[in-house]
Amino acid sequence: MSTTPTVLLVHGAFADAASWSGVTAELQRDGIPVIAPPNPLRGLASDAAYVASVAAQIDGPVILVGHSYGGALITVAGVTENVVGLVYVAAYALEEGESLGELQGRFPLSPLVSNLKQWTYPVPGGEPATEVTIAEDAFPSVFAADVPAEVTKILAAAQRPLAAAAFEETASAAAWRTKPSWALIAAADNAINPEVERFGAQRAGATIVELEGASHAVAVSRPKEVADLIRTAVRATS
């Protein structure tokens, strides 16, 4: 059984596991085991259960890294026994019993909120449910202002929608109460108000790094700095 934790990278809404490519390459160069599974983006409880099941099937210790909505998932899934640390990357760190909408509602809304496009998707045996993406023309400024334009166009076209119901579901646990945590604040984030990231990280007692000029897509634009924080967590928990 390895004593170096496996890093499990959890992407957020409007992205996929490829958004971690630069971070994955950085960690693999150091021989750190990495898994970046697909996040279903269907709801807080079900997505967190999926992340927890992936973590539980890994031999040895695991560090959960959550970007954006993925932060809410690792907050819940982090109670899994072999999880030894949590890393929040431009992410939501919820309290038990709190929803994304509730946490966001304490602070001025980001430009993301007025630039969401609604879609529907089928639900077996029921009415169609609502999911959201970011309007393509707003995607560069809202999500990835520090990413080259040609890359941003691809990210906008490939974004994965989030079930709208996820904003209202409440967290069933707050793993940061019992597990050490680290947080990266993207200071120029237009998708999540940086104040939301900062408040959650401080409340969790996280070790905080703040990157000036960093957009929400900080894992794409500044993978080395993101990987550096994850390496710090790996060293601290090895």
Q: What is the pLDDT of residue 2?
A: 59
Residue 237 pLDDT > 60, yes or no? Answer: yes
- pTM value? 0.98
Q: What is the pLDDT of residue 104?
A: 95
How many residues in the chain?
A: 238
Q: Within 13 A of 237's CA, how many CA atoms are on the CB side?
A: 27
What three-state secondary structure class fits 83?
A: strand
Determine the Cα–Cα distance for residues 174 and 144; give it in Å rounded to an integer.
Answer: 29
With bands split at pLDDT 50, 70 and 90, how would you rate the model's confidence at 3? confident
Instruction: Report percent pLDDT > 90 for the chain.
Output: 99
Residue 126 pLDDT > 60, yes or no? Answer: yes
pLDDT of 78-92, one tens digit each?
999 999 999 999 999
Mean pLDDT over 53-75 rounds to 98
Give the residue among 175, 186, 81, 207 at the shortest CA–CA distance from 143. Answer: 186
Residue 1 pLDDT > 80, yes or no? Answer: no
Instruction: Report percent pLDDT > 70 for the chain.
Output: 99
Mean pLDDT across the chain: 97
Residues 6+ apart with CB under 8 A from 64: 8, 10, 51, 55, 74, 77, 78, 83, 85, 86, 87
6: enclosing H helix or E strand = strand 6-10
Mean pLDDT over 162-179 rounds to 98
Asked if 175 contacts 86 with a C-beta cutoff of 8 angstroms, the reply is yes
Give the residue among 209, 176, 195 at the shortest CA–CA distance from 93. Answer: 176
pLDDT of 141-164, one tens digit each?
999 999 999 999 999 999 999 999
Token pair for 77: 């899934």
With bands split at pLDDT 50, 70 and 90, how would you rate the model's confidence at 8? very high
